[in-house]
Amino acid sequence: MSRIGKLPIAVPTGVTITVDPDKVTVKGPKGELSTAMLPEVDVKVEDGEVIVTRHSDEKPAKSQHGLMRALINNMVIGVTKGYEKKLQINGVGFRLISKGPQDIEMALGFSHPVLYHAPDGVTLTTNKMELTVSGIDKQQVGQVAAEIRSFKKPEPYKGKGIKYADEVILRKAGKAGK
């Protein structure tokens, strides 16, 4: 039995979960999310809990069991609390300018400014040299943060670039002089 898949998901008050034959929909105070139903598992909502069961003990069923439970749990957390990732920008001359809730402009040492428009459902907020990516979809928030980080990954000598707030950059020594 999957250690993750066998755990029930507690449904908080204000959250409704609808199970259709082809998708699972979660509605809450922050919004609505849905995901496709995986073929090897069943989802049931009973007594304020969501229970995911699998059809057989085959390998695809085992892997989909834990995955489906994790996806539903992430949706429940997303519509109640939401997700956020913090990015820090380090470097001389690097700038971060907010152009609205979904647009930012970055000066990252290139000959041109880098513009980024976030997809619907994701908001970008700036605070000096820190950028916060927030939304209700965990996968989408992580994807946007990774795309922004990819514009200028942190380098190991001076630590310049865009890094996650909790990321540790291993520093290297520079050239040794004679």
> How many CB atoms within 10 Å of residue 152?
20
- Fold: same for 9-80 and 83-164: yes
Write out the DSSP string of 110-141.
SSSPEEEEPPTTEEEEEETTEEEEEES-HHHH
Architecture of domain 9-80: Alpha-Beta Complex (3.90)
Residue 104 has pLDDT above 70, yes or no: yes
Residue 178 has pLDDT above 90, yes or no: no
Mean pLDDT of all residues in the chain?
92
Q: Which of 94, 98, 97 is nearest to 107 (CA)?
A: 94
The angle that helices 138-149 and 59-80 make with each other, rounded to 10 degrees, is 90
Span 131-145, pLDDT tens digits: 999 999 999 999 999
Average pLDDT on 11-16 reads 92
Q: What pLDDT score was predicted for residue 174?
A: 84
Q: What pLDDT score was predicted for residue 166?
A: 92
d(CA 107, CA 95): 5
Q: What pLDDT score was predicted for residue 108?
A: 93
- Domain positions in the chain are 9-80, 83-164
**DSSP H stretches of helix in the chain:** 59-80, 138-149
Q: Which residue has the tokens 């970008």?
A: 124
- Give the amino acid at 172: K
Burial (Cβ within 10 Å: 0-12, 13-18, ≥19) of residue 53:
middle
Span 141-161, pLDDT tens digits: 999 999 999 999 999 998 899
Q: Which of 74, 64, 70 is nearest to 28 (CA)?
A: 74
d(CA 152, CA 174): 20
**Which of these CATH numbers, 3.90.180.10, 1.10.10.2520, 3.90.930.12, 3.40.710.10, describes 83-164?**
3.90.930.12
Length of the chain: 178
Q: Which pTM value belongs to this model?
A: 0.89
Q: What pLDDT score was predicted for residue 142?
A: 96
Q: What pLDDT score was predicted for residue 49?
A: 93
